[in-house]
Structures are given as structure tokens and as C-alpha cells.
Structure 1
Amino acid sequence: MAITISNMYKRAQWHCLAAIVLLTMACKKDNNNVTKLNYEDGVSTVIYDLAGDTEASVADGVEGKERRPFKSFYFKLSTKLQSWDSSNTFKKSNNWDLAFTDIYNALVYVNNGSAEGPGKGGSGKGMIIAVDAAYSKVTTAPDDAAFETANLNFAGWDQYPQPYNTGWYFYSLNTHLAVPIKNRTFIIRTADGKYGKLELINVYQGNPPAVTDLFWPAPYFTFRYFVQQDGSHNLKTP
């Protein structure tokens, strides 16, 4: 189970990433036809290629893009609705569960009104913990005491080769590519207090099984999730 990390580490981690990504995902490239892997299990919801702020860039002179901060977007799990509403009223509401923020929208917050993040000061009950186990093998959410202890508040960039067990992808300093972490599942509590699990699968368009092209289109998110609607901690899926 994941451990919490300090605000100092969070800031240092993302400042480092901000400098590094100047070398990555900076140029526009034609769409790539990639066979989509099958993540359907008949119970979970699978989202393919949800476009983030694809018009933003971390560098100057990128065709079709503007150098500026990436606009955050918000996602409601129960309705599968994406919103770009950045008003305080919206952010403090329970109309979203996940906020895709920061560089390439890859820092993913839950809607927690009691913690630092987009939902601070609102009514959201969101929490998130990381588990090193395949999605289908995660069958139960922990009790609330364990959730409180291990809550991360967000999922982002993890360290390699010594992972902190908090992120959903590695960033390679050699290739300057984001590499999704296999068998890293996040157990979540939604803004409304229901329990679920989440697998953040890819940030590259088409969900390619491997990326070797520095300029592959991003951010386009593929992820899947299951939320237990009866309020229990049962997260079993096929």
C-alpha cells in the first residue's frame, strides 16, 4: 500500500518535471493508428483518448500550440462527463471526482475538500491510495481509518528506479517519455463518498502498448474505473 509524501517533495518533483518536459511531447504529429487493447470486463467503465489541453505547450514554436500553462479539466465518474469549468463554485462542488491538472494534465487529484488541491474548501470526500496489484486483483477497499492514513490526494509522476509507490507513470530521463506503471491500481473514494478503483493506463493518443516516438500526440487519456454504487467496499470485477 502507498505511503504519503510531503508537500516539499511534491513541489520539488513537479518543478523538476517542468524543466524536463521542455524536451518531450513538444511537436505536433499526425495521428497514429494503433490497435486498442481490450480493457472491457463488462462491469468497469473504460475511457479511451479523452483529450486534455492539447493546444498548450511547454516550449515556443510548436505548430498548432501555444506556450502557456495547461488548463485543468474535471471528470465525473458516474456520468462520464468532462468539464473545463474552472470557477471556484464548480471546483468546490461534488460535480467532479478527478481533476487532471498541471503539465500535460498528468497530475490527477481527487475531489477532497479537506486537503490541498482544486477541491479545497468544498464538500468533496475524495481520497486515493496506490496499490501494486493488477486491476482485477483489487477486490476490496480498506476501512476509512486505513484510507485516511494512506491517502495521497493525487497521482502523478513516480520515481525510477526506486519508486515511491505514489504515481501512475515513470518519466524516463533517458528517453524523455512517460511510461505508465503496469499493475499499479488506485483505490478511490469519490466526492460523494462511494468506493471504487481506478487504473490510469496512458497519456498518449491511441493507447500504444509502447512509445518510442518523442513527438507522439499527448495528452490523450485512457483509463478505466469501477465504482461500487451500493456504498460497500466490494470492488470485485471480472
Structure 2
Amino acid sequence: MLKSTLTKSVFLFLVICLAAACKKEETLVPVLETKTFSNLYAPQTGGQGQPVGGDFIKFSFLHGTTVTDDSWDVAFRGATILVNGGTLIGIADEPIRTGIGAISIVTNSLDAVKEVPESSTFKQDGANTYAIPTGSDNGWYNYNSTTNLITPLAGKVFVVKTHDGKYAKFEIISYYKDAPTSPDATSLSRYYTFRYVYQPDGTAF
């Protein structure tokens, strides 16, 4: 009788512990980390009146690095940024869109963007249309024709619906190698440094 009672007690204890462990596991919230990616080199050919070309450099927020397959979320060439969603724009050497990605541009600081915006604010690439508009003061940068320098627009955060329907947010820190505080004519351009947060499960940052 005593042995039976002890067996039942041990069994009940194990059940309670297992239930508590499962509940604890269910309530765990993944910690989101703000990361910096430095010196993503995005060269182009042509420009200054000549046809622009060259491969786009693809980046995956899941992997946290550049990729060459279809798992990319955004892609860079010169000052142009594409998203892996929508259709072809109609420019030379652009990658085929294989994902469901889109971008919403938010005016705020990266840390202050806590939630994914309304779905109606998200844009995809399309014929002659960029999710992140090109040109000075239109999308992510200002171009100074006197100094010939590109400066990221302050307070521009890009919330990305990734190629597979997850979310990320990023802000561009610099367009020059090693992100100099005050770039000049000697600074090497087309080297992106940006901060980002990847959200693998949910819509909160």
C-alpha cells in the first residue's frame, strides 16, 4: 500500500513539473536583437549618363548576411534598393521576385518603431515603380550636387515584410566605407552600413 502511494505521489509530482515546464516554455518571448551590418558593397556599372547595370547584392534578414539564392529580402545596387516582392521594375540585371516581400516607410527612429504598420502602407516593386523610391529626398537619401555626397535621410525606418512573410526593420547609417562621421570626396561610396531588427514570430519589435 505504501509503495503504491509513493508511486502515485511521484507520478503526480512529475506531471505537475512537466505541466509547469510546458507552461514556462509556452510563455517565453524571443529576445529581439538590434544588429549592425557594415560595408555591404553594392557596386554598379555605368551612371553619369551611361546605362546603369550590374548585379544586385541580395541580403537576408534571417541569415543576417548577403545571399545568392532566392531567400533574399532586400537587394542593393548603387543607391537603389529592391524588395523581394512584386514584379520586375524593368531595369537592367534586376533579380526575379520570388517572395511576398513589401516595404513600409516610417518616419521615426529605429528603436521607436515597436509595431508593424498597417498592411495598407506596404508597397512592392512593380513596373517602373520602386517600393523604396529612388532619387534625392524621395526614399532613403539626400544627394548634394555640390559635394557629390549621399547622406541618409534622418528618421527614415524601413519596415520589411520578408520574402517568406516574416518582418524586419532597418535604418541606413552610411553609404560610405567604414561609415565615416563626415564623409568627403575621398570616401569610398556604395558601402552600406545599416542597423536592423529581425522578427521571426509576430508583429512587435
Q: Which residue of 2 aligns with 1:96?
A: 72
Q: Which of 217, 221, 234 matches 2:192?
A: 221
Q: Which runs of 5+ in 2 are unaligned?
A: 1-31
The structure in which a higher percent of residues are strand is: 2
Contact 2:85–2:163 (Cα < 8 Å) also in 1: yes
Q: Which residue of 2 aligns with 1:158?
A: 136
Query: For the structure 1 residues 214 and 125, does the alpha-carbon distance in structure 2 shift closer, same or farther, using more than 3 Å as the test?
Result: same
Q: Which of 12, 29, 37 matches 1:47?
A: 37
Q: Which residue of 2 aligns with 1:110?
A: 83
Q: Which residue of 2 aligns with 1:15?
A: none
Q: Which runs of 5+ in 1 are unaligned?
A: 1-41, 60-66
Contact 2:172–2:193 (Cα < 8 Å) also in 1: yes
Higher relative contact order (CA 8 A, sep 6+): 1
Q: Which of 93, 99, 104 matches 1:129?
A: 104
TM superposition score normalised by structure 1:
0.60
Amino acid at match of 1:126: G
Shift of 1:229: 1.0
Contact 1:205–1:218 (Cα < 8 Å) also in 2: yes
The 2-side partners of 1:51 and 1:174 are apart by: 24
Q: State the SS of the aligned residue for 2:120.
A: helix
Query: For the structure 1 residues 70 and 218, does the alpha-carbon distance in structure 2 shift closer, same or farther, using more than 3 Å as the test?
Result: farther
* Structure 1 residues 114-173: Cα deviation after superposition (integer angstroms, max 9, x where no partner): 4637455x4311111211111111111123234359x952354333xxxx4xx1110012
Shift of 1:57: 6.5
Contact 2:140–2:156 (Cα < 8 Å) also in 1: yes
Aligned residues: 165
Q: Which of 142, 155, 159 matches 2:117?
A: 142
- RMSD of the alignment, in Å? 2.8
Query: For the structure 1 residues 145 and 68, does the alpha-carbon distance in structure 2 shift closer, same or farther, using more than 3 Å as the test?
Result: closer
Query: For the structure 1 residues 78 and 144, does the alpha-carbon distance in structure 2 shift closer, same or farther, using more than 3 Å as the test?
Result: same
Larger radius of gyration: 2
The 1-side partners of 2:141 and 2:162 are apart by: 22
Query: For the structure 1 residues 142 and 181, does the alpha-carbon distance in structure 2 shift closer, same or farther, using more than 3 Å as the test?
Result: same
Q: Which residue of 1 aligns with 2:15?
A: none
Q: Which residue of 2 aligns with 1:71?
A: 55
Identity %: 27
Shift of 1:215: 2.9
